Amino acid sequence: TLEGADDEPGHDEIAMLADSFNRIAGEWIQGEKLRNQLVSDAAHELRTPIAILRGHLETMWKGAAEIKRENLLSLLDETKRMTRLIQELQQISLAESGQLSLECSWVRFAPLIREVADIFGVEAEEKRIDLTYEDDTPQGFEVYCDAARIKQALINLIGNAIRYTPEQGAIWIRQSVAREGIVQVEVADTGPGIPAEKLPYIFHRFYRVDDSRTRTAGGTGLGLAIAKQFVETHGGTLVASSAEGKGTVFVMRLPVFPEA
């Protein structure tokens, strides 16, 4: 310890300083690595849709093929996917930088979940998927959270359930109090499920269980990574369990009022 202002710092102090310097430098390098990785992943992900667009446009330009409306539609789909990808990249880079600041207020949870379920109402009807919502929390139950971020996390979970569940399947959304001070939302589906050996990776960004299937489903591979980041920033947890061929259950838990 330093006893007087004139004292030379001892070995301990120097070692401590060196330690904390190394830790900060290490964290910075780690952060830098994550950012570099994100940029190269993003470039990789954008290459495919841009190559598809370019190929089609070049063929049309050369006049080699007559321009069909359905060709234009598939080009439009690719641009939509790129737009989503870019929006999601912004969200993930914000969340991973640790600079996501939450704008929390007391939010009534039931209307929030209903609103998200309604977004997918038409899609569910088209696929004749039975979408049910069950609320086991007391009337008017409120959670102190950033409504926009939690809504986004729910959109990603319920959107996946709709996308991956085949026609005439079923989806349940259930809200309950897991234990005192913890709210729980389960999103369960009768989709294809996720093989056990792949389950640990589904929250990694750009990870896809079945690349061809998810690409045609318009997936970006970022939805779950974003949902998990948003939930964890609230001090909550997001986990999945699945039985291949039977379905998948995502369980989101949030503190009703996060500790400061």
* Residue 176 and residue 184 in contact, taking contact as beta carbons nearer than 8 Å: yes
Sheet holding 247-255, edge to edge: 130-135, 170-179, 182-189, 247-255, 237-243
Residue 216, SS3? helix
* Residue 194 and residue 239 in contact, taking contact as beta carbons nearer than 8 Å: no
- For CA atoms 216, 222, 228, 230, the dihedral sign is negative
Q: Which two tokens stand for residue 198?
A: 């792949």
Would you say 145 or 238 has its CB closer to ligand ADP? 238
CA 27/CA 23 separation, integer angstroms: 6
Q: Which of 150, 183, 190, 191 binds ligand ADP (CB under 6 A)?
A: 191
Helix 147-164 vs helix 109-119: angle between axes, to the nearest 10 degrees?
A: 40
- Name the DSSP class of 8: P
- Is residue 152 a contact residue for ligand ADP (CB under 6 A)? no
Pairing label, strands 237-243, 170-179:
unpaired
* Residue 131 and residue 120 in contact, taking contact as beta carbons nearer than 8 Å: yes
Q: Which of 116, 169, 184, 192 binds ligand ADP (CB under 6 A)?
A: 192
Would you say 175 or 220 has its CB closer to ligand ADP? 220
Q: Show contacts with ligand ADP in window 44-73 (CB under 6 A).
A: none
Would you say 109 or 164 has its CB closer to ligand ADP? 164
Question: At its nearest, how many Å lie between ligand ADP and the CB of residue 119?
Answer: 16
Binding mask 123-142 for ligand ADP (x = CB under 6 A): --------------------
CA 113/CA 43 separation, integer angstroms: 34
Would you say 219 or 236 has its CB closer to ligand ADP? 219
Q: Which of 220, 228, 231, 253 binds ligand ADP (CB under 6 A)?
A: 220
Would you say 22 or 83 has its CB closer to ligand ADP? 83
- For CA atoms 10, 15, 18, 20, the dihedral sign is negative
Q: Which of 109, 120, 164, 230 binds ligand ADP (CB under 6 A)?
A: 164
Would you say 112 or 227 has its CB closer to ligand ADP? 227
Q: Which of 153, 221, 228, 236 binds ligand ADP (CB under 6 A)?
A: 221
Q: Which of 91, 152, 160, 229 binds ligand ADP (CB under 6 A)?
A: 160
Q: Show contacts with ligand ADP in window 198-217 (CB under 6 A).
A: 202, 207-210, 214
* Residue 177 and residue 135 in contact, taking contact as beta carbons nearer than 8 Å: no
- Residues at the interface with ligand ADP (CB under 6 A): 156, 160-161, 164, 189, 191-192, 194, 202, 207-210, 214, 219-225, 248
